[in-house]
Amino acid sequence: MKLHADKPEIHTITAHGDGWVAINGERHERSLILNSSGVLLPWDCARFEDLSEAHFLALLSACQEAPELALFGCGTRWRFPKPALLQPFISQRIGVETMDTPAACRTFNILAGEGRRVVVGLLIGV
């Protein structure tokens, strides 16, 4: 039984593993930004310790419309970024959820599948 409509125009995270994610079946081994409008961009952050406000601004820049929610996949270990880094979201009243990268992949698929405006930054291989 089919429970939901196919939405081939959106990117879906089809698999993930240690040091990689697959988007629509294509494997990616570097950190990336993905939004529910179909934008897929490299994210130039290889380590959690290197995160800056500019990295989070890049998440917003990937969206034509302000997202309802931003997800941050912090790698294999759950770590929270400094609140000052999230200022671009806080100032626009956009919620940011931090979770490990596998959880962020699953959450993105659910929200994007519901048609929500969501953006995710995934630290991969961290």
- This prediction has a pTM of 0.90
Q: Please state which CATH number belongs to domain 13-122.
A: 3.40.1230.10
pLDDT band at residue 2 under the 50/70/90 scheme:
very low
What pLDDT was estimated at residue 126? 74
Whether residue 4 has pLDDT greater than 90: no
The H helix count followed by the E strand count for the chain is: 3, 8
> What gap in Å lies between CA 44 and CA 23, rounded to an integer?
18
Whether residue 7 has pLDDT greater than 70: no
Tens digit of each residue's pLDDT (9 = 90 or more) over 50-101: 999 999 999 999 999 999 999 999 999 999 999 999 999 999 999 999 999 9
Whether residue 1 has pLDDT greater than 80: no
What pLDDT was estimated at residue 6? 55
Per cent of the chain over pLDDT 90 is 89
Q: Which sequence spans correspond to the domains of the chain?
A: 13-122
The answer for residues whose C-beta is within 8 angstroms of residue 42's C-beta and 6 or more apart is 30, 31, 32, 33
Whether residue 3 has pLDDT greater than 50: no
> What gap in Å lies between CA 114 and CA 46, rounded to an integer?
30
